[in-house]
């Protein structure tokens, strides 16, 4: 809210001013004071937009009040209007010299007072805007100056430690200027080069002809060149890598006068690149060894599965079968009903054990895979799913049989089984289809289902689908130099393609 302060020792004058101000400036808060000292305190506290000040007052006259307010940094910008019956020119001049902004002679007209107060308010508003702009400008200048100083400091620090040097050569390629940075980079003083060495023979190139020819070609064509990398030697024999950038220079007659350029020391970067390349090669070699180990472990696991299956079939399975036969023959004897019942139940338990051991043998290492091959084994697995889960299945292929090594067939069969289990366990599919195709180079198997599908993009890491076993499948296919492709969307089923070179 805008504020006006009136200071006069005459209470009648104050009431008159208050009434006028209330009518002419209804949105303003008016403060009244009957003494100069009190008025000063109110001005400091409320910071009014203008002050109406009487001159003749008992404790402190208006000139003194004006002088105090104009010398206070918080109140010096407040416009002051003197109200006084003293009309002499000397009093007016004294008031204006004290810092007053206007002078109204008593008795005054209401119109004059209103006009003068409006002028003071406009002056106050304009001064406030100007001060705000100046303040913002000062802040801006301060910030930009600080930023400039900071940039300048950084530039100086960079210049002191930068691994670069500048150079200039004439039209024949002879150095006529080299900055002192070359001492730190190549251990050579500019005096050893300027007027003595050529751009073509200065560098101790590792592959001298190739790099000299490149420089000569650029120089002859008078082209700009940026960031060409050259291997050089430090004066002490150490290898140094430089990037060389330059541009042709022409005189005022547009005659070619040479080149100017800058060389940057990128030795650390090149060493880091070489170390990184070496690390990547080691990592690649380790990954290759791990994949080979993974392949060997998988084959070893399959061999152990087969041994256990053979033991269950030939050892434990045969023993249970013989026990079942003998109990069956005993059960045909003449025994009390209670014993016959127990014998019958025991025989049934043994038969169930025989069936379960056979299923376990097929799950561990299906004989059909080793005896008939991959295609019959996949058909058998689909038939097993159909019978056990009542889910329709289909197999499509123009091939009747495929000749692969036992180890490869076993790995492929295990991968297909895992994909089929995914369709049952995760996809909740009601139909599963397997398609097998072969050409001269590759064997391709496509497993499709109409299940609930999942979100997959090429950018997605297979490890994020670890719960589906796809990461493990990808690793096994990598060991066979094969590939895995996935096409799936939510509620659209899944199509998974495995390809193996043969």
d(CA 420, CA 435): 12
Burial of 279 (0-12, 13-18, 19+ CB in 10 A): exposed
CATH superfamily of the domain spanning 3-134? Response regulator (3.40.50.2300)
| pTM for the whole structure | 0.42
Closest CA to 55 of 21, 88, 18: 88
Per-residue pLDDT reduced to its tens digit, 42-82: 999 999 999 999 988 888 998 999 999 989 988 988 999 98
| Common-topology check for domains 3-134 and 164-265 | no
Domain boundaries, the chain: 3-134, 164-265, 271-365, 373-501
Q: Return the CATH architecture of domain 164-265.
A: 2-Layer Sandwich (3.30)
Report DSSP letters for 171-211, one per residue. Answer: TTSBEEEE-THHHHHHS--GGGTTTT-BTTTSS--TTHHHH
| Contact criterion met (CB below 8 Å) for 490 and 470 | no
Q: What does the H/E/C string look like for 380-415?
A: HHHHHHHHHHCCCEEEEECCCCCCCCHHHHHHHHHH
pLDDT of residue 157: 56
| Contact criterion met (CB below 8 Å) for 435 and 396 | yes
Per-residue pLDDT reduced to its tens digit, 386-420: 988 899 999 999 888 888 888 888 889 989 988 99
Helix (H), strand (E) at residue 69 = helix 62-70
Closest CA to 431 of 391, 387, 388, 487: 391
Per-residue pLDDT reduced to its tens digit, 8-54: 988 988 988 899 888 888 889 999 999 999 999 999 999 999 999 99
The correct answer on CATH 3.30.565.10 for the domain covering 373-501 is: yes
Residue numbers in the chain where pLDDT is lower than 50: 155-156, 159-160, 205, 466
d(CA 16, CA 14): 5
d(CA 240, CA 418): 55
- At 344, list the tokens: 């019958």
């Amino acid at each position: 809210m805008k504020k006006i302060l009136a200071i006069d020792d005459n209470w009648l004058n104050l009431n008159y001013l208050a009434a006028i101000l209330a009518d002419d400036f209804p949105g303003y808060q008016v403060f009244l004071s009957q003494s100069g000292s009190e008025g000063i305190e109110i001005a400091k506290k409320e910071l009014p937009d203008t002050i109406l000040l009487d001159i003749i007052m008992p404790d402190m006259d208006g000139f003194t009040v004006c002088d105090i307010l104009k010398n206070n940094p918080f109140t010096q910008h407040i416009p002051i209007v003197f109200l006084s019956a003293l009309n002499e020119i000397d009093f007016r001049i004294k008031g204006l010299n004290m810092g007053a902004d206007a002078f109204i002679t008593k008795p005054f007209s209401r119109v004059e007072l209103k006009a003068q107060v409006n002028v003071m308010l406009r002056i106050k508003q304009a001064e406030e805007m100007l001060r705000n702009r100046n303040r913002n400008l000062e802040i801006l200048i301060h910030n930009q100056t600080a930023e400039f100083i900071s940039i300048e400091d950084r530039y100086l620090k960079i210049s002191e430690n930068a691994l670069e040097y500048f150079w200039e050569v004439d039209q024949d390629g002879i150095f006529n200027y080299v900055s002192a940075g070359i001492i730190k980079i190549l251990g050579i003083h500019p005096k050893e080069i300027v007027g003595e060495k050529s751009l073509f023979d200065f560098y101790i190139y590792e592959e001298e002809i190739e790099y000299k020819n490149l420089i000569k070609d650029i120089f002859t064509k008078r082209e700009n060149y940026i960031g060409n990398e050259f291997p050089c030697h430090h004066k002490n024999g150490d290898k140094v890598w430089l990037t060389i950038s330059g541009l042709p220079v022409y005189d005022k007659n547009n005659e070619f006068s040479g080149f100017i350029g800058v060389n940057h020391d990128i030795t650390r970067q090149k060493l880091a690149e070489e170390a990184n390349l070496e690390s990547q090669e080691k990592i690649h070699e380790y990954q290759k060894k791990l994949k080979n180990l993974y392949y060997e472990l998988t084959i070893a696991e399959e061999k152990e599965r087969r041994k256990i299956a053979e033991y269950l079939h030939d050892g434990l399975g045969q023993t249970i079968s013989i026990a079942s036969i003998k109990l069956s023959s005993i059960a045909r004897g003449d025994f009390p009903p209670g014993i016959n019942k127990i014998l019958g139940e025991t025989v049934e338990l043994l038969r169930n054990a025989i069936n379960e051991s056979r299923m376990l043998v097929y799950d561990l290492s299906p004989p059909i895979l080793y005896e008939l091959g991959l295609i019959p084994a996949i058909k058998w697995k689909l038939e097993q799913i159909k019978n056990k889960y009542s889910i329709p299945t289909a197999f499509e292929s123009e091939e009747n049989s495929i000749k692969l090594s036992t180890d490869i067939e076993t790995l492929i069969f295990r991968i297909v089984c895992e994909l089929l289990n995914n369709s049952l366990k995760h996809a909740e599919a009601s139909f599963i289809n397997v398609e097998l195709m072969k050409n001269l180079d590759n064997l391709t198997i496509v497993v499709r289902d109409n299940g609930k599908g999942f979100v997959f993009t090429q950018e997605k890491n297979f490890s994020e689908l670890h719960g589906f076993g796809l990461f493990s499948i990808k690793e096994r296919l990598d060991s066979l130099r094969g590939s895995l492709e996935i096409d799936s969307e939510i509620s659209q089923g899944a199509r998974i393609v495995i390809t193996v070179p043969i």
